[in-house]
Amino acid sequence: MDETLDVVRGSADMWLEAAYESLLEGGLEAVRILPLAKKLNLSRTSFYWFFKDREELLSALLDRWKQKNTGNWIERTEAYADSVCEAMLNVFDCWFDETIFDSRFDAAMRSWAQQSPEIAEHMARDDAQRIEALTALFTRFGYEARAADVRARVAYFTQAGYVSTKSEEDMGVRMLRIPEYVEVFTGVRPKKHELQRFYARRGFQFQ
């Protein structure tokens, strides 16, 4: 596309990013074409070069959430690990890295789901997919089916609780709780070298 037209019309990514920011800041009602145009300093009509209507933009937002949060969550459950503790610590990356799992986006989608039965259905399916992926993680390390299912649910809903309550827990305190979380979820105490690798990824000094 011509650079001059980029300035006049923006791009699909620009409109989607503005919609994402507005959803996080003001909820679903903030994702409206005219306010987005004002935010981008573009004309309202330029929106229609990229999206048929608001519903198509909302659909793109939904796809973005699925690809980033659910897609990355599942990838972390499938990441290589020598032990169940290491596998769980791989998933814990979702707790601390917004580039992997966007907690604010998840919270905004759950608020949206309260207003839309269709989005609520998507949320339920994605929750089920994430729990299924965690269950498969435990099964891979030899847990019996029912135990794998329950441990997966405990781990998943703990994280969902952090997201929904918007916990302001001190990051240092939360990091120090990691060994206990791993042991509660897996029934196995993580080894020092496993914790060291996880803390190094997060830039935390292991004690």
What is the C-alpha separation between 12 and 60, in angstroms, rounded?
A: 10
Q: Which domains does the chain carry? A: 1-51 (1.10.10), 61-202 (1.10.357)
- How many C-beta atoms surround the C-beta of residue 184 within 10 A? 13
Q: CA triplet 205, 162, 16: central angle to 5 degrees?
A: 100
pLDDT tens digits for 64-82? 999 999 999 999 999 999 9
* pTM given for the model: 0.89
Q: Is residue 62 a contact partner of residue 122, using CB atoms and an 8 Å limit?
A: yes
pLDDT tens digits for 117-173? 999 999 999 999 999 999 999 999 999 999 999 999 999 999 888 777 776 778 888
pLDDT score of 9 more than 70: no
What token pair was written down for 184? 């509660």
- How many C-beta atoms surround the C-beta of residue 181 within 10 A? 18
What is the C-alpha separation between 30 and 20, in angstroms, rounded?
A: 10
Instruction: Please provide the size of the chain in residues.
Output: 207
pLDDT at 206: 64
